Structure 1
C-alpha cells in the first residue's frame, strides 16, 4: 500500500520529468493504459511536466504507448540501449551486444541442458529474430504487437550486433538459475543482465540500464538534474532508474526487493497505481 507523504515533502519536490515503465506499470493484463491513468498523465502534462517512456520493449512495440501518453520526448527502449525520437526519427543512442558475446550466450542457451527449455530472441535493427516460433514467442509477439522472423540458426543473423538478447521460459526457476549462473560468468563490465518479468532473462551492452538512459535524457537532452525526475516502475530492470531519480516510485505489484529501494510504493497496476501516485505526489 502507498505510504503517506507530508504536504511539505510533496511541496519540496521539483518534478519536471516523469518517466514511466510500460509493462506492470502503465499496462497490466489487458496490455492497455486505462482511462484513469491516461487522464492523470494528461493532467501532469498540463502542469508543464514532460513525460517519457522507459521500457525493455522494442522501439516499435513502445510507440503505441508513447502516442497514448502524448509524449513529445525520445523513447528509451530496450532498457535504454536504443533512444529514439519518434518525431524526428533521430536515434540519439544505440548500444549493442558484441557479436562474440551474443555467440557465447547462444552457445550456452543451446546447450543440451537448456535448448528444449528456452525460447531465444535476438533483436537486430528493431526486428525480432528467433530460431523457431514457440508458444512463448507467440504470446510475446502478440502482446508486443510485432512479427518475429523465424530463421533457424540464429548465428546467421549475427552479421549485425544485436541490441538485446532475451531468453524466455515459463518455468521461473529456470530463469532464476540462468540469471544466477550468468551473473557469475559475466561481470557488469562485460554484460548488463536483468529480468524485466519473472519469465524473461535479458542481456544488453554493459553500459545499458534504464537509470543511465534516464540520466542521458534528463541531463544531456533536457538540461535537468536527477532531482527534477520522478520515475515509476515495477521490476528488477527498473531498479537503476528508481535509484537515479530524485523520487522513485515502485508499483504494488513489484517484487519486494524493488519496493525496498523506492521512496514510495503505489497500488498495483490493476488498481491504476500510476494514477494514484500522480495524484498524491504531483497533483
Structure 2
C-alpha cells in the first residue's frame, strides 16, 4: 500500500492485550512504519493521560485522539486541538437513567470525565482494576449530578454482566436519536456516551484532513471493537483484529490475528512494509 501516509491505531485489544503493554514485535513493526515516513497516531476510548504512555511507548508522532474522539491533544506541547464534550442536559438525563438502573442492579458503575480527570461516587474492586489498568487517579464525589453544571467529556457505565450492558445499549439507542448522543462499546462490559456525532471516525477525519491535510484514501486504521467502527469505515484501508465482532470485521479491508498473536505486526508486514 504505497499510498498510505498515516497509520491510526486503537490501543486496547489492538496494540495492547491482557498484559496492558505493547509487545516488542508490534513496537518493532511500528518503528519500521515510521522509518518509511508514515505518521503514526493513537485513537482510543481511554483518557488522554491514560493513553500517553502508549504514545511514548510506540514513539507515535501525531496528537492523541482520546475519549472515543471527544478529545485531541498534542503531547509535544500539551495543546488541546479539539474538545467536544457531552451537552450537560443530555448528560443529566442519561445519568438519571443510569441511577435508575443502579437501583435494579447494583453491579452498575458510573464514571464521569471532566478535564481529563475521572470522577465516581464510590470505589469498588472494579474501580480499582480500571484505575490500575488505566494508570490514573480517581476523584470521589457524593453525587455525580452535582458536577453537571459543566459538560462532561464522556460518560461510562460498566457492569460485569455483558447482557445487561447490551440491554441498556439497546434501550438507550431507542431513547436517544443519533443527533442527541453517540453511544458505543469499547469492551462488552462498558457502555460509553459522547456528544452526538463525536466518535473516532469524525476525530480521525478532523486530524487527517483539517490538521494534516491528507485524504481518507491515504489513511490506514486498525481496531477491534464497536467504538472503532466509525474510523474503520472512514479510512481508505482498514484492518479488524481477529477477535473483533463480526459487524466490525464486515466493513474492513482485511482481518488480521488477534492482539495476543501480534495482529498489528502481521497487518503492517502484509500491507505497509
TM range (shorter): over 0.9
CA deviation after TM superposition for structure 1 residue 163, in Å: 0.1
User: 2:50 — aligned with what?
Assistant: 61
User: 1:119 — aligned with what?
Assistant: 109
TM-score (norm 1): 0.94
Q: 1:100 to 1:115 in 2, by over 3 A?
A: farther
User: 1:4 — aligned with what?
Assistant: none
User: 1:97 — aligned with what?
Assistant: 86
CA deviation after TM superposition for structure 1 residue 114, in Å: 4.1
2:28 to 39, 46, 56: 39
Q: Distance in 1 between matches of 2:266 and 2:6?
A: 17
The answer to whether structure 1 residue 184 and structure 2 residue 174 are counterparts is yes
Matches within 5 A, 1:55-204: 55-111=44-100, 113-114=103-104, 116-204=106-194
Q: Distance in 1 between matches of 2:41 and 2:138?
A: 26
| CA deviation vs aligned residue, 1:118-147 (integer Å, no higher than 9, x gap) | 100000000000010122211111110111
Extract unaligned runs of 5+ from structure 2.
none
CA deviation after TM superposition for structure 1 residue 73, in Å: 1.2
User: 1:280 — aligned with what?
Assistant: 270
User: 1:3 — aligned with what?
Assistant: none
User: 1:30 — aligned with what?
Assistant: 19
User: 1:14 — aligned with what?
Assistant: 3
TM-score (norm 2): 0.98
CA deviation after TM superposition for structure 1 residue 61, in Å: 0.2
**Residues 109 and 115, structure 1, Cα contact 8 Å, conserved in 2:** no
Q: Distance in 1 between matches of 2:150 and 2:31?
A: 39
Q: May I ask how many residue pairs the two structures share in their alignment?
A: 272
Q: Alignment partner of 1:166: what SS?
A: strand
User: 1:246 — aligned with what?
Assistant: 236
CA deviation after TM superposition for structure 1 residue 26, in Å: 0.1
The answer to whether structure 1 residue 261 and structure 2 residue 251 are counterparts is yes
Q: Distance in 2 between matches of 1:146 and 1:191?
A: 26
CA deviation after TM superposition for structure 1 residue 257, in Å: 1.1
**RMSD of aligned alpha carbons:** 1.0
The answer to whether structure 1 residue 52 and structure 2 residue 41 are counterparts is yes
